[in-house]
A and B are shown apart, each in its own frame.
Chain A
């Protein structure tokens, strides 16, 4: 019963074994074709592409820098000339800060999920393949689960100080158990299939079998898990920064923007509404795309 608290969806059943590379093109093309035939997948995919471009190009796209203050125009409403989405209590341009905040959100999410995959995939492979270490890794997973990400972040902030990097580590560690779980169960499944047995009989080393036969076939479950982990990480970053445990002001973050907007919320509600909508849009497009990907990878083919 070890599941990441934020990621407890049933794991997708991936395609049957593609065997090593080569023949993988067939199923992969089928997945892409299914995605292209799903309007929700196309729409969320487009939003994602735009969001990532915005994240990368934010410093160029933003009309102002994040810290440029205009004390002559504080708490300006949206539509104010020169400030499309208005300004905050220090007269900083909300649109610019949202664009740069999205960049920070995506950066933390990518760092967290890369950490989670980097730690979780090897552990999951080893746990599923070698029965001897399965117990040890399961206890390790239980241990990680016992520290919810916020409590982990609290501990990290106490020991190492609050920062973007520590927020990403806390979120990433919290996601490791989810990755271990799906990779472990997929490794167990793949291990029992004939093509792995054939490789073993053929004299392949354990490392070769894991890297060449098991890992390539486990990529689809990792991919699906990652599409759930990214939006969870985006929400996690917002929470931590909101509480002051993540990105530190004045650096732009959607979470710190909400924290700063709270005292002025009655006078300037747009400041408290728009960063939240940006977070939701990001998370929603990842979640919708992740769902579509899960469906497209489901060999039973039916939407469920």
Chain B
């Protein structure tokens, strides 16, 4: 177990360093002089020289990389060209919005996905299975940002049931906060729900034909108990990993969803930064995403190996 953890920790750290190298080299690949790009409007020679020495652009590449990494570790992500605000400060206001949106989406997707997956597996070959399968296929195929547009059009604007855009912080007014996030999180959750449904169904089908389920049935347990206590419990392990693996898709999805519902989160920050050529912000966004992806997947791996000892064994053998 300790050895597995150490291997995974080392691998994650290595990936993290490589990701930092990629982002670092990416900035150097910007067209033209990075100092010019970082300078924004003020392009006087003095300003450029100041930027060069501030970012250490007059040093050798390895030295630059080391300075870059130490700055990042200290939480110094630079200053936005457009607003002059520290990038870390901008992230601090934007991230909670995205985090709340993503967590709500995960909860909705898990509830819907597991329920539909169990129904499809238990009611195999009946209309319920076809409905669940069909919904999952549509969920995988529908562009969810479009679903968001249609929802705004027909649910928010036409009926006024939900606000079409905007955001109220949780601390300010929890009810209004949830009201603003219902539509976006349902929309963001649809794609994830479809993936969770298909995996749940597939592992439930495996579980339902396994010996331990037959044993449970043979000793006279009620079907409901067999399904929930035996088959589902074993299948749920899959759901934990799926959420971890779908994190990248979830981040991408959150960016678009925020754009459509004009939520002031990480996604809006990202897209605004691209169009304003706010390179320090872009760099921070890419780095923060990669870091959180690596850290969360490491955490999911740990969680997974705690739930299912077989993973540990396989991990050590590999």
Contacts and interface: CB of A to CB of B under 8 A. Distances in A.
A47 B301 CA distance: 41
Nearest to B138: A284
A5 B149 contact: no
Interface in B86-143: 137-138, 140-143
Interface in A1-15: 1, 3, 5-6, 8-10
Contacts of A155: 23, 26, 282, 286
B301 A1 contact: yes
B198 interface: yes
Contacts of A157: 274
A174 B285 CA distance: 17
Contacts of A261: 149
A189 to B, nearest CB: 15
B282 A276 contact: no
A159 B11 contact: no
B30 A243 contact: no
B78 interface: no
- B18, B22, B248, B282 pick with most chain A CB within 10 angstroms: B248
Contacts of B143: 235, 238-239, 258, 276, 279-280, 283
A144 B18 CA distance: 10
A145 B137 contact: no
Contact of B141 (A148, A269, A284, A304): A284
A115 interface: no
A139 interface: yes
Contacts of A6: 248-249
B141 to A, nearest CB: 4
A8 B242 contact: yes
B237 interface: no
Contacts of B140: 231, 283, 287
Contacts of B297: 1, 145
Interface string A160-196: 1000000000000010000000000000000000000
A139 B145 contact: no
A52 interface: no
A81 B229 CA distance: 62
Given A146-B290, A151-B290, A266-B157, A288 B251 contact: no
B1 interface: no
B150 A273 contact: yes
Given A8-B195, A8-B246, A239-B252, A154 B141 contact: no
Nearest to B305: A1
A80 interface: no
A3 B142 CA distance: 22
Contacts of A238: 143, 145-146
Interface string B171-199: 00000000000000000000000010011
Given A147-B290, A154-B270, A1 B141 contact: no
- Determine chain A's interface SS by DSSP, over half rule: helix
A239 B140 CA distance: 14
B18 A139 contact: yes
A291 interface: yes
B155 interface: no
Nearest to B201: A304
Nearest to A1: B301
Contacts of B199: 8-10
Contacts of B301: 1
A143 B22 contact: yes
Nearest to B12: A142
A112 interface: no
B55 interface: no
A21 to B, nearest CB: 32
B202 interface: yes
Interface string B1-41: 00000000001101100110011001001110000000000
Contacts of A154: 270-271, 274, 282, 285-286
| Among A5, A139, A160: residue with most chain B CB under 10 A | A5
Nearest to B298: A1
A242 interface: yes
Contacts of A231: 140-141
Contacts of A273: 150
Contacts of A280: 138, 141-143, 146
Contacts of B275: 244
Given A147-B289, A242-B256, A258-B146, A1 B245 contact: yes
Interface in A224-257: 231, 235, 238-239, 242-245
Interface of B: 11-12, 14-15, 18-19, 22-23, 26, 29-31, 137-138, 140-143, 145-147, 149-150, 152-153, 157, 195, 198-199, 202, 205, 241-242, 244-252, 255-256, 259, 270-271, 274-275, 277, 279, 282, 285-286, 289-291, 293-294, 297, 300-301, 304
Given A158-B282, A265-B153, 19 more contacts: A6-B249, A142-B12, A143-B19, A146-B291, A146-B293, A146-B294, A147-B290, A148-B251, A148-B252, A154-B274, A155-B26, A158-B277, A159-B31, A239-B145, A239-B256, A243-B255, A243-B271, A244-B271, A280-B146
8 contacts: A1-B300, A6-B248, A10-B199, A146-B290, A159-B26, A245-B274, A280-B142, A291-B137
